[in-house]
Chains A and B, each alone.
Chain A
Amino acid sequence: MSGDANCERLREVGPELALGVLSGRERAEAVAHLDRCAECREYVRQLTLVGDRLVGLLPDREPPPGFETRVARVLARQTPASEGQRSARALGRTRRGLWQGARRARVRLAAAAAALAVAAGFAGWAVGTVVEQVTAAPPPAVESEPVLVGDMTAAGHGGEPVGEVYAHPGTPAWIFVSVALTRPGTRYTGTVTCLLERADGASVRAGAFALRDGHGNWGIALSEDLNRYSGARLTSSDGTVLATAQLRKAQVLTPET
């Protein structure tokens, strides 16, 4: 498709992209084009400004009595030091929860790899590779577990994967995300929100975790039916999309022992 044709397509979907209501596949295509076209980036920037101005027209409202005091008290309690301690405790709980979830899942090879990765802070984690290898050469007698996997790509930069998403749609379901946004302009330090997306563009917040200099690993148990979701995205505090992933269904096949 020529550049002009891509620009024409961008003109059609740009308003929905700027308003944050474009479905996952269309958004990925549009973002990939923006990476190559400065004029379309400016076009979408202007449309985003329109969206901001539109939200800015919403009327102010008087909050409930005591709101100011309650919020100020919460903020005062959340000093940077206590925040770090809380995050560490939460991470410890999450890791223990994931370990227990992994044991329940009975996905022997994948669970062992995932649990080891969790215990090691996800370093060298390659469950996606395990899934690929197993599905490419199925052993003769197996147990089968459905999973969702996807490569994460940087918003606006496309191309090479910058991380992985691996989800197990069981009860409870669990999801693991590993990301390394290391290209210039993509590095981000702060809390990111992980949103799961349905094919119709609707999304649900899975949770939040910290990125440091673009790097972060995270996992959580969920009560959601993950089979309903076809994508995931990471957003910064102001809602800017940092990375997206299309989830595809796969099977982890494990030899009977």
Chain B
Amino acid sequence: MIFHGGRAGGRAIPWRPSDVYRGVSGYRSPVGPLPDEALLSGLVAGDPELAAIFVRRFQHRVFGVAMAVTRDQQLAEDVAQQTFERAWRHAQIYDSRRGSVMTWLTAIAHNLAVDAVRARRTEPMAPEDLEDLLDTVTATPEEWALADEASAQVRAALARLPREQARALMMAGIYGMTAQQVADAERIPLGTAKTRIRTAMARLRTVVAPAKRGDHVR
């Protein structure tokens, strides 16, 4: 599917807005939920009903990311709203080849949340919050049993990491802390913080993208 604005030969959106209208007006869900990309094109078309469905579908994900990073309900709500506004403004340049709508929105929410915390706080995270979050993302409750296999593998790999590596990775990857901030928070040398982040990422990389023969960087 081509979904990339401005690219030669490609269409900005996979359906004309009028196609979306014909497909949904009057009977919004005749045979099942609309694809995520169709909802996004509804945003492009300025359809208020599709915009509402879009928000309803993704609000838990977006707010969850914002809340995990900011740990502040009001700030998380602001970040979540900004995420949807930004998605609305940039819906035409979403590129499905780079990931799903869910991944795209999650990345926007995460970037905005990290920037919001950097702008408002001196301490990016509290140690007890980190432990709670680490326990949460490495747990395997029943409702996650049906999660996609890739996520399950990453979750399992994260759980297998030595705790200090997992903490360093969460600080950098979730809270957006620099290696120096990780070193300060953990009271370890900068080099040790960098090594923990690097080693943890290397282990998860073997799950996400197994090494190919001839890889010159491992």
Which residues of A line the B interface, CB within 8 A?
A: 7, 10-12, 14-16, 18-23, 39-40, 43, 46-47, 49-64, 67-72, 74-76, 78-80, 83, 187, 189-191, 193, 195, 200-205, 235-239
Contacts and interface: CB of A to CB of B under 8 A. Distances in A.
A236 B95 CA distance: 13
B156 to A, nearest CB: 11
Contacts, number: 206
B77 A67 contact: yes
27 contacts: A10-B217, A12-B194, A14-B198, A14-B201, A16-B178, A16-B179, A50-B208, A50-B209, A53-B204, A54-B158, A55-B65, A55-B106, A55-B110, A57-B155, A58-B65, A59-B137, A60-B60, A61-B67, A71-B59, A71-B80, A72-B51, A76-B46, A78-B89, A189-B93, A200-B178, A200-B180, A238-B111
A202 B111 CA distance: 13
User: Top 8 closest A-B pairs, CB basis?
Assistant: A239-B111, A15-B201, A237-B90, A61-B64, A201-B178, A76-B48, A60-B60, A72-B52
A195 B112 CA distance: 11
Which interface class (under 10, 10 to 19, 20 to 34, 35 or more) fits B? 35 or more
Given A54-B169, A202-B181, 17 more contacts: A15-B201, A15-B202, A19-B201, A21-B179, A50-B208, A54-B154, A54-B170, A55-B106, A56-B106, A57-B151, A60-B64, A61-B68, A63-B77, A68-B59, A71-B84, A76-B52, A204-B115
B11 interface: no
Interface in B69-95: 73, 76-77, 80-81, 84-90, 93
Given A57-B158, A72-B48, A49 B209 contact: yes
A11 B217 contact: yes
B126 interface: no
A76 B51 contact: yes
A58 B67 CA distance: 10
Contacts of A39: 215-217
A52 B179 contact: no
Contacts of B68: 58-59, 61
B94 to A, nearest CB: 9
Contacts of A76: 46, 48, 51-52
A15 B155 contact: no
Given A19-B173, A71-B59, A52 B106 contact: yes
A14 B217 contact: yes
Given A54-B169, A200-B178, A200-B181, A12 B198 contact: yes
A202 B201 contact: no
B56 A68 contact: yes
Interface in B10-68: 43, 46, 48, 51-52, 55-56, 59-61, 63-65, 67-68
A75 B51 CA distance: 7
A16 B67 CA distance: 23
